Chain A
Amino acid sequence: MADAMELKRDTAGESLLGSLTRFFMSAVGSKVVMAATGLGLFLFVVGHLAGNLLAYVGRDAFNAYAIALKSNAILLWGARSALLIGFPLHILTAIRTVQLNRAARPVPYAFDNKSPARTAAKTMMLSGLVVMFYFLYHLAHFTWRITGPQPVTLLPDGNFDAYSMLVMGFQQPLISLIYIGAQVLLAAHLSHGVYSMFQHLGFWGTKWTPFLKKTALVAGYGLCAAFASIPLAVLLGIIKP
C-alpha cells in the first residue's frame, strides 16, 4: 500500500514552472493552451468587428476610431499582445498536436473513417491555415501597407485616412472576394472552436453545452456575415467613398 502511494506521487516536488510546463505539453494541457489563446483571439475578432462596423456610421466615426486606437497605447498594445502572444502559441500548439495525432494512427484505415462529425470540426487545421495566410495578407495591406491599393493623401489633420483605404480596397472585387472567402473559413473555424473552447476549459452543463454548440454556430457565421457585409456594402455603394 505504502509503495503504491509513493509511486503515484512521482510528480510531487516539482517546481511550479516545471509542473506547468509539463501540463501545457500534455495532451490535455496543450488543448487548454489552444482554448485560452483561442478565447483571446476570438475576443480580438469581436473587437475588430465592432470597429469595422463603424464604417456604416461614416468616414468620421471610422477614422476617429482608428485614431483613438492608435493613440491609446493600452488599447493598441492590449490588442497587439493578444495577437503577438496568442497567435504564435495557437499555431505552434496546433502544429504540435497535429504531429501527435498523426503519430497516434500510423496505419490509416483502408475504408475511410466514417465516424460522424461536422466537416467544419474535422478541418480546423485547414481553416486555421487559410485564416492565418489571410491574416498575414491583411496585415501587409492595412498595417504594414506594403500591398495596394493605398490612399495617396492624408487627412487634413495629418492622420492616415483608414476609411478611404477600406473603401478603396473593397472596391476591388478580387480583394472583396478574398476577404469574404477568408471570413467563411474563419466562421467554420469559430463554429467549432467557440464550443470546443468551453469543453477544453472544462465547462459542461446538460443544458448549457447544447446551447453553446448552437451559440458557436451562430457566433461563427454571424461574425462572418457581419464582416462580409462591409465589402458587399462597398461594392453595392451603400458605403460610399
Chain B
Amino acid sequence: MKLESRIPSGPIENKWTSHKMSMPLINPANKRKFKIIVVGTGLAGSSAAATLSELGYQVESFCFQDSPRRAHSIAAQGGINAAKNYQNDGDSVRRLAYDTVKGGDFRGRESNIYRLAEVSVNIIDQCVAQGVPFAREYGGHLSNRSFGGAQVSRTFYARGQTGQQLLIGAYQALEKQIHTGSVRMHTRHEMLELVTIDGHARGIITRDMVSGKVEAWAADAVVLATGGYGNAYFLSTNAKGCNVTATWRAAKKGAGFANPCYTQIHPTCIPQAGDYQSKLTLMSESLRNDGRVWAPKKKGDTRAPDQIPEDERDYYLERKYPSFGNLAPRDIASRAAKQVCDEGRGVGPGGRGVFLDFADAIKRLGKKVISERYGNLFDMYTTITGEDPYSVPMRIYPAVHYTMGGLWVDYNLMSNLPGLHVIGEANFSDHGANRLGASALMQGLADGYFVLPYTIGAYLATAKQPKVTTDHPEFKKAVADVNTRTAKFLSIKGKRTVDSFHRQLGNMMWEKCGMARNDKGLNELLKEIPALREEFWQNVNVPGSADNLNTALEKAGRVADFFEFCETMAMDALDRDESCGGHFREEHEDEGEAKRNDEKFSHVSVWEVTGDKPVRHKEPLVFEAFHPSVRSYK
C-alpha cells in the first residue's frame, strides 16, 4: 500500500496557500463534464455537494435517510470553533491549531490541522451569509463561549442546536443546487459497494431502501462523507442508522483504514436503563461546571443518595485531580467513572452509573440560577429518566460518541485509492487520538466547503481516466456481489435477530475495547469476534424480501460489516501498545494518565484489509511547528 501524504513543503503558515496556487485548475466550461458522487449528507457531504455543484461539476448525492437534512451532524449541541478572535482574548489560527494538535495527543497530522484552523474563520462567514442564526449579543454581534480544552472563547453556537442549524444551512445550499438540477439527490439509498476500475474509484452500487432496487452509478470521482463507526458498540450517542458500511466497503476495495482504535468516550451521558436500551443520550459537558461527581464509598450501596451521609461519599474526581476536580478532561473523567463502577460502587440499575450532584450548587446559587443555566438539560433528563435532578442527583455514565479514526487520506483528502476522497468524520486526519469539543462541526464544514472543492480539481485535472459507464464489467460484478450478499442474508433463516447479534458484539467491544483496553482482553476479543461472526452467518434471521422496504435486511448488512471492522479495530488497539487520547492501554499509565510512547508510536496506523488478514502500514507523523509534550491535568 502506497501512502503518499502529499504534504506541501514550506512553513506551516504558507502550506495551504502555496498548495492552492500549485494545484492545476479546471476550466469552468470543462467542469460540467465531470461527474462526482458524494455519499452522505451531513455537514461534510452536504457542504461538499453544494459547493462542487456551484463550481459547475455534476453531482450525484446519496443518503440513507429520508431527507438530506436528517444526517447525524444535526445532533451536535455545543458549538463550532473558529479562530476569529472576536473576544480579543489572544486567539489565533496558530493557537487553535496548537490546541487541536495537543488535544489530539500529538497523533494527528499537523499540516491538515493547521489548514483546518486557517479555514475555520471562513466557515463562520459563510454560515452567517447563508442565514445560520448564531447566538448574538445585544449589540448585534456574534456571541462566543468557551469549551473544553481551550483557554479562549472561540466557540460559536445556536442555542443547543448548533449542529442542526449548520446542517440546515448546508442543506439549504444543497436544496438550492438540487432545484437548479445540477445536483441529483437520491434519498433512502444506501451505498453497498465501491467500484474501482484500473485502481481508480469510479462509482458505487446502491440499494434503493424503498423498492429494493440495486443500482450502479458511474462517475469521475467518489467522495465519502459517511460519518463514524461509533455504532460498532451498539450503544452509543450516534443515531441508529450510523454505520461503517460505506467506508468498510471502500476499505475492502483497497482503501487504507487509519487508526480504527481511536474512539472518544463522552463522560456525561444518561446511563443505560435496561437490556432493551437502544441508544444513549449525551448531556452537555457544561453540567460539570456546577455538578459534583461522586459515588458511595461502600460497595453495593443501594441506599437512596440522600440517605448516604457526606462522609460515606467519594467525590473521586476532586480527590484524584485536586486542581481540575470535576472539570477533568473527557477521557480522564470517563475512565475514573468506569474504575469506580468496576470496583462495584456504581449506582442505578446494573451498577453502571455515578452521581452528578447539584445539591451544593443549588444551596450556593439558588434553584433559579441553576435552572437558568441548565434548565433545558434538566428537563431532558427528566423526560428520559422520570427523575427530578433538582431534588435527586443525576446519574451519569460515559458513552461512545465520536470516532477519530477513519479512512486514510492525504493532504488533498484523497485516500490511497485515486479518485476516492473522504471527508468529515469518515476520514482520520484532523483529531489525532482525541477530539476537542466543538471541533467536529468545524472539520466537517472545512472539508466540504473549503478544502475538497479545491483539491478534487487537482485529481480530476491530472487523472485523465477514460469515461466509463455502468456497463463496465466491474459494475456488473459489484452489482452481482451485492445481490449475492442480500440473497445470503435472506436465505439463512436462523433463530436470532440481527439486533441481538449487534448488541452482543457491541457489548464485547465495550467491555474489552472500550474506555480501557489491555493485552489480555484484546486477545480474547480477537477470538470472540470471529466466533460470534461465524454464528451470525449461520443463525441470523432476516425476514421479508429484497424487493421491498426491509429494515432487518438493512441492519444485517451493516452488522455484517461491523463484525469485520471490529476485528480490525481490536487488532489496531492491540498493535498500538501505548496510551494516547481516547485509546487507553491499561499497561501504559502514569497514575491514571495516558502514557504515550512517541518513540515507537508517533505514526498513523493504516490497515490494509483486502487480503485474508489485515496488514498494518505506517505513515510517520512529522511535527515541524508544534512539538509533542505531555498532557497533564493534575
> What is the interface of chain A, defined by CB distance below 8 A to chain B?
1, 3-4, 7-8
Contact call B179/A7, Cβ cutoff below 8 A: yes
Which residues of B line the A interface, CB within 8 A? Answer: 54, 176-177, 179-182
- Chain B residues with CB under 8 Å of A8's CB are 179
Given contacts A7-B180, A8-B179, 10 further A-B contacts (CB under 8 A): A1-B54, A1-B180, A3-B180, A3-B181, A3-B182, A4-B176, A4-B177, A4-B179, A4-B180, A7-B179
Interface of B is mostly: helix
A7 contact set on B, CB distance < 8 A: 179-180
* Nearest chain A residue, comparing its CB with the CB of B56: A1
Give B175 Cβ to nearest chain A Cβ, in Å. Answer: 11
Question: Shortest CB–CB separation between residue B189 and chain A, in angstroms?
Answer: 24
Query: Which residues of chain B have C-beta atoms less than 8 A from A1's C-beta?
Result: 54, 180
Number of A-B residue pairs, CB cutoff 8 Å, is 12
Chain A residues within 8 Å of B54, by CB: 1
Query: Chain A residues with Cβ under 8 A from B180's Cβ?
Result: 1, 3-4, 7
Output the least CB separation between B418 and chain A (Å).
30
Smallest CB–CB gap between A206 and chain B, Å?
19
Closest to A6 in B: B180
CA distance A8 to B179 in the complex (A): 9
Q: Which residues of A contact B181 (CB under 8 A)?
A: 3
> What is the bound-complex CA distance between A195 and B530, given in angstroms?
68
Q: A1 CA to B50 CA in the complex, in Å?
A: 11
How many angstroms between the C-alpha atoms of A105 and B474 in the bound complex? 46
- Closest A residue by C-beta to B176: A4
A8-B54 Cα distance, complex, nearest whole Å: 16
In angstroms, Cα B54 to Cα A7, docked, is: 15
Q: For A8, give the chain B residue with the smallest CB separation.
A: B179
Instruction: Give the 3 A-B residue pairs with the shortest CB-CB distance, closest first.
Output: A4-B180, A3-B180, A4-B176
Q: What CA separation (Å) do A3 and B53 show in the bound complex?
A: 12
For B179, list chain A residues within 8 Å (CB).
4, 7-8
Residues of B within 8 A of A3 (CB): 180-182
Question: In angstroms, how far is the closest chain A Cβ from the Cβ of B184?
Answer: 15
A211 to B176, CA, bound (A): 40
- A4 to chain B: closest residue by CB: B180
CB nearest to B54 among chain A residues: A1
How close is B446's CB to chain A, nearest CB, in angstroms?
23
Closest residue of B by beta carbon distance from A1: B54
Q: How far is the CB of B54 from chain A (nearest CB, A)?
A: 7
B181, closest chain A residue (CB): A3
Instruction: Name A2's closest neighbour in chain B (CB-CB).
Output: B180
The smallest C-beta distance from B570 to any residue of chain A, in angstroms, reads 49
* 12 A-B pairs with C-beta separation under 8 A: A1-B54, A1-B180, A3-B180, A3-B181, A3-B182, A4-B176, A4-B177, A4-B179, A4-B180, A7-B179, A7-B180, A8-B179
B496 shortest CB reach to chain A, Å? 34
- State how many angstroms separate the Cβ of B458 from the closest Cβ of chain A: 24
How far apart are the CA atoms of A60 and B3 in the complex, in Å?
105
**Cα distance A3–B177 in the bound complex, in angstroms:** 10
CA separation between A1 and B182, bound complex, in Å? 10
Report the Cα distance A8→B177, complex, angstroms: 12
A7 to B182, CA, bound (A): 13
A4-B182 Cα distance, complex, nearest whole Å: 10
Q: CA separation between A162 and B179, bound complex, in Å?
A: 65
A4, B177: Cα distance in complex, Å: 8
Residues of B within 8 Å of A4, CB to CB, are 176-177, 179-180
Smallest distance from the beta carbon of B449 to chain A beta carbons, Å? 16
User: Which residue in chain A gives the minimum CB-CB distance to B182?
Assistant: A3
The docked-state distance in angstroms from the alpha carbon of A162 to that of B181 is 69
| Distance between Cα atoms of A1 and B177 in the complex (Å) | 8
